[in-house]
Chains A and B, each alone.
Chain A
Amino acid sequence: MKEVIELLKQSELFAGLPEDKIQQIVTIGSPRVYGAGDMIIAAGDPSDELYIVQEGLVEVLVSSGPAPDVPGAQEMTAVVQLGRGQVFGEMALVDRGARSATVRCVKSDTQLFVIPRDVFWDLCEQDHHIGYVVMRNIARDLSFKLRHRNLSRGA
């Protein structure tokens, strides 16, 4: 449990939260381990979890076609790899929509910390300080990812 608390303290998603609030979040999530090549989430699928990379590496893939949110047989292109401390699945926390991208594990023994969306949402509703901090941090994380994507396209 101490290891997970340290992970969450070093994840931007929970930056600014005191340790007692982070401990609350730890109690509602659970660890999960994936092997290289494992599919973690698939674009178009319903979403109900938020993921934090504890150790290892995952790869985010989007459809090369014009409608990445529509499921179907489309060519997938890797747009970024996410390592320690990074979050994915956060868009579902905000909009409850279908998965916007596929995420695949690229390093064996990749460890994730998984938080069920509805339970986390309830916690944010009960404790507005947690809700405010997490939503602010999600906005900052999405902004960072967008900047990264824009820079990658020019490389």
Chain B
Amino acid sequence: MIYKISYVVLGGSHPGAIVNRDTPPQVGEVIQLNGNEYEVVSVTDLIPPQGDFAYLHVTLRPR
């Protein structure tokens, strides 16, 4: 499965990102976006999975 992730950073300090990953993010996991670290706050399905793709909405907060 390929996970297409919509990262949204709470507080507006970062524009957010869309990336593909081989594994789904977990709540509490630390994500790096262009050198800065963010903690995963929530993970939800953005739209239902289709084919080999899962579509996730992930909210982050700066560490």
Q: Across the A-B interface, how many residue pairs have beta carbons closer than 8 Å?
A: 80
Interface residues of A in 115-149 (CB under 8 A from B): 140, 143-145, 147-148
Instruction: State in angstroms the CA–CA spacing of A125 and B23 once bound together.
Output: 36
Cβ 8 A contact of B19, one of A84, A106, A145, A151: A84
Please report the total number of A residues contacting B with Cβ < 8 Å. Answer: 29
Q: Which residues in A have their C-beta under 8 angstroms from that of B27?
A: none
Contact A10 B18 (CB under 8 A): no
Q: Are B2 and A10 in contact, CB atoms less than 8 angstroms apart? A: yes
Name the CB-closest residue of A to B5: A83
Q: A12 — which chain B residues lie within 8 A by C-beta?
A: 2, 4, 20, 53
Provide the bound-state CA to CA distance between A81 and B36, in Å.
Answer: 13
**Interface pair A15/B51, CB less than 8 Å apart:** yes
A77 to B57, CA, bound (A): 22
Taking beta carbons and an 8 Å cutoff, which residues of B are in contact with A? Answer: 2, 4, 6, 8-12, 15-20, 33-34, 46-47, 50-53, 55, 57, 59
Instruction: Show 26 residue pairs from A and B whose CB-CB distance is below 8 angstroms, ordered by the A residue.
Output: A10-B2, A12-B20, A12-B53, A15-B50, A15-B51, A15-B52, A57-B34, A78-B15, A81-B15, A81-B18, A81-B34, A82-B17, A83-B20, A85-B19, A85-B20, A144-B6, A144-B46, A144-B47, A144-B55, A148-B6, A148-B16, A148-B18, A148-B46, A148-B57, A152-B8, A152-B15
